[in-house]
Amino acid sequence: AQTVTQSQPEMSVQEAETVTLSCTYDTSESDYYLFWYKQPPSRQMILVIRQEAYKQQNATENRFSVNFQKAAKSFSLKISDSQLGDAAMYFCAYRSAQGGSEKLVFGKGTKLTVNP
């Protein structure tokens, strides 16, 4: 079974600075998807960014980018120019690309605090 590990339970960053959240995963599959979700205090799960394993190019969405290292099974999230609204729980998630395995497997999350 696939597992996702987020080794940083909590992180903090100063407003306007850059922070990187770590995620590693364990799988024997070669084709899969990786996601970062944001959960603010409202509890809503918001998709931040996703990456297909077959793509070598790292995904980018505005101030959010990933560093995808397939061989190392690492998928970190970089938040640039941090804003107060970025404060939230961040979850890394894995999904197999194989049919019949469309489950999202989540890490335990990283709580990000943004200091003004």
Partner 1 sequence: NAGVTQTPKFRVLKTGQSMTLLCAQDMNHEYMYWYRQDPGMGLRLIHYSVGEGTTAKGEVPDGYNVSRLKKQNFLLGLESAAPSQTSVYFCASSPRVLQGNYGYTFGSGTRLTVV
Site for partner 1, rule CB under 8 A: 4, 6, 9, 33, 35, 42-45, 47, 50, 91, 95, 100, 102-109
Locate tokens 């998807």: which residue? 33
3-state secondary structure of 84: helix
The DSSP code sequence of 54-73 is: T--SPPEETTEEEEEETTTT
Shortest spacing between CB 95 and partner 1, in angstroms? 8
Q: Nearest approach, Cβ of 116 to partner 1 (angstroms)?
A: 26
Q: Name the nearest CA neighbour of 19 among 76, 99, 98, 103.
A: 76
Shorter beta-carbon distance to partner 1: residue 61 or 81: 61
Nearer to partner 1, 19 or 49 (CB): 49
Provide the minimum distance between the beta carbon of 15 and partner 1 in the complex, in angstroms, as a whole number: 26
Q: Which is nearer to partner 1, 9 or 85 (CB)?
A: 9
Q: What is the dihedral of CA 18, 27, 1, 75, to 10 degrees?
A: 10
Quote the longest CA-to-CA distance of the chain: 45
Q: Which is nearer to partner 1, 19 or 93 (CB)?
A: 93
